Amino acid sequence: MTVSLRYHLSFLFLIICTAVEARPVPVSRSGLVGNAIAEFIPVGFDISKTPSLILQKEPQIKSSVPADWGIVPEFSVNDGKASAVVRLKGDVSLYGGGEVTGPLLRNGQTIKLWNTDNGAYGTDNGKRLYQTHPWVLGVRKDGTAFGVLFDSSWKAELTTNSDKIEYNAEGGALFRVFVINRKSPQEVLKGLAELTGTMAMPPRWALGYHQCRFSYGTEEKVRSIANTFREKNIPCDAIWMDIDYMEGYRVFTFNNKNFPNPKKLNDDLHQKGFKSVYMIDPGVKVDKNYWVYQSGTANDVWVKQPDGKEYHGKVWPGDCAFPDFTMPRTRKWWSGLYKDFVSTGIDGIWNDMNEPAVNDNELAADLRLGTMPYNTPHRGGGNLPAGNHLLYHNAYGRFMVEASRNGILAVNPEKRPFILTRANLLGGQRYAATWTGDNLADPRFMKVSVPMSITLGLSGQPFSGPDIGGFLENTSGELWAQWIGFGTLLPFARGHACAGTNDKEPWAFGPEIENTSRIALERRYRLLPYLYTLFYKAHTTGLPIMSPVFFADLKDARLRSEEQAFMLGSNLLVVPAFAKNPALPTGIWENLHLINGEETDAYQAKLLIKGGSIIPAGKVIQNTEEKSLDKLTLYVCLDSKGQANGELYWDAGDGRGFNKGNNATLKFHAATQNGATKISLASQSGKYPVNNEIKQINAVIVKNGKAYYGSGNLKTGVIIKSY
């Protein structure tokens, strides 16, 4: 949510530059730190001054960089500001940069890496948003690829021209650069995960549909929303509480009038198959009678001004103090605040406003910064040095979600935490999912949500999605229908609405669009087994869940800039209804229909299954606590040889047991012989008793626009003869 909804304002910065010739800085040391992963360290680099806030662990050089490596960064310092340039040769398609607007293909683009509260993406025309990913993925003409990671959290500018990639920081401390050079972009992304980690495996309910509003203001309204979903048989897994559940916007409190019994509310939601997600912001109201402020003051955790006085900035509660998350004791203190809060039965946490967003920092007349002043000191500790806000600003949200995650785990160690964050830094995918911030109810924002979410996946963050329907301003029924028709197929699926805008629940636009919403959501829930399998692969490998169409054919130049259609995994192609003449891969692709009547609904995205693949689907359920696999359906699209393969990953849906072998991976194979196709279980691994859940297998072969059906079980398989 945007402070004071000021998305129509511009943040102005006074930048005084002195032209000084850049001073080249040679590489002092380099080496391979992994399979085709090179680390380049400039002369003068001091890890005590520029600690990595991105890497999951400190890499060790294992061997020297080959003489023919070819991708070597050039370092320099200009007017006390450190830079690195990677010069490019040949025809290279560039991607990445994290949460950015604009085209999927990033050649010729410049973005500003400075996490900003940016409603409707108005500041700098969307070139500066809520997260920082100093990362570029390059794909050559032959499909081989490389990645460049600038290991720096400083305020910076990232330029991706066809002849060079340039990172210019506003801090003088030199930083390292990591280069990954592999045979495909998919392998490069696996290398990025080796450096920065993968997302944690979420609880299965987090893959369901989420409903939110700023705000559902009373317990009665929350119950009404939940009851309506169930009465109308519209699938949903989570209801979200925005800041109005709090007492005067004080974090870790409940409004005694409107939310008098949060434990009973959460219990009631659980009985109906819902989870609850509550917002927690970093700003703590300055109030000597408020226990969180008292505790923070007693533990000396607040950010201080240069003169040593407590830093205050205005956010929703008025004057706020802010935890200095660079200090280990602050992170431990923050983690401890979740104990009583989560014990009320809260299932997920929403960390918002954590750029951090502050709305009253006037640097001069009519000049506003939107966060803490650059020279605000942070005290550090542990392996983190003391440093100013220019160094630590982009990592503030990442520190916050790490502390939040640790606090939630301490309360419920046997459950998988779910945290959604607005601000983050590359590497922060280890702690939280994300959404694309405060978008606008406008077709432009609907369309740009596709390349934005793809780009996040190409930048190490696979679990993301937009506010379906648009957060700011009113949403028309037409726009809602178009958006939900494909938005439910993105990794994170949540409908959201700002205060003062019209209702944006699936039934809010009349019976016809309610039915459109139901179809779209039932499609997502039917695809849950396939999606859950993709999430597990993302967790274990770092591969994106949602990927660009060119991943289907790395050498097809037509596909390199396609940003309307997208892939889910490698076997399912999604073409939104708004897409006009999208570039699609060649080969065998068949229409896939999951729900009766969906083909007559003009708003649903077209689903295409790839030749040679098998996609597992469950039955229609209303929430993820219901059994999905009773009647497992295998959708089969044969290749030119009459064969196909597919995979299903499954586990208990929550808990830590999946890390100890309590999971199941089923691999299916289809082969055609003498005019009949047999679909059978090729292999099974893991200790989770998935066989107890799968009572029946239905198989559907889609070929030449027609469907052919058969049924059986895991033991006998399915034979389909007539097609």
* Count of CA atoms in the C-beta half-sphere (13 A) of 399: 28
Rg (CA), the chain: 25
Query: 275, 534, 594, 577: which is closest to 417 by C-alpha?
Result: 275
Three-state SS sequence of 188-224: HHHHHHHHHCCCCCCCHHHHCEEECCCCCCCHHHHHH
Pairing of strands 613-617, 631-637: antiparallel
Beta carbons within 8 Å of 708's beta carbon, 6+ residues apart: 700, 701, 702, 720, 722, 723
Dist CA 136 CA 31 (whole Å): 20
If you ran DSSP here, which 8-state letter would residue 599 be given? G
- Out of 74, 244, 438, 467, pick the active-site residue: 438
Dist CA 325 CA 400 (whole Å): 7
DSSP H or E run through 616: strand 613-617
Is-catalytic flag, 693?
A: no
- Which bin fits 590, alpha (ψ -120 to 50), beta or left (φ > 0)? beta
Amino acid identity at 166 = E
- Out of 355, 505, 514, 625, pick the active-site residue: 355
164-169: strand order across its sheet: 23-25, 74-78, 81-87, 164-169, 156-160, 109-113
Task: Quickly tell me which residue has 């960089």 as its tokens.
Answer: 65
In three-state secondary structure terms, 469 is coil
Torsion of CA 125, 131, 136, 137, to 10 degrees: -100
Give just the sign of the alpha carbon dihedral 396, 432, 493, 443: positive
Rounded to an integer, what is the distance from CA 108 to the centroid of its chain? Answer: 25
Rounded to an integer, what is the distance from CA 556 to the centroid of its chain? Answer: 27
Quote the crossing angle between the two packed helices 511-526 and 477-487, to the nearest 10°. Answer: 10
In three-state secondary structure terms, 342 is helix
If you ran DSSP here, which 8-state letter would residue 463 be given? S
Is-catalytic flag, 157?
A: no
Amino acid identity at 402 = E
- Out of 194, 268, 281, 352, pick the active-site residue: 352
- Structural tokens at position 172: 């003088």
- Greatest alpha-carbon span in the chain: 84
Is-catalytic flag, 352?
A: yes
Indicate which residues carry an active-site annotation: 352, 355, 438
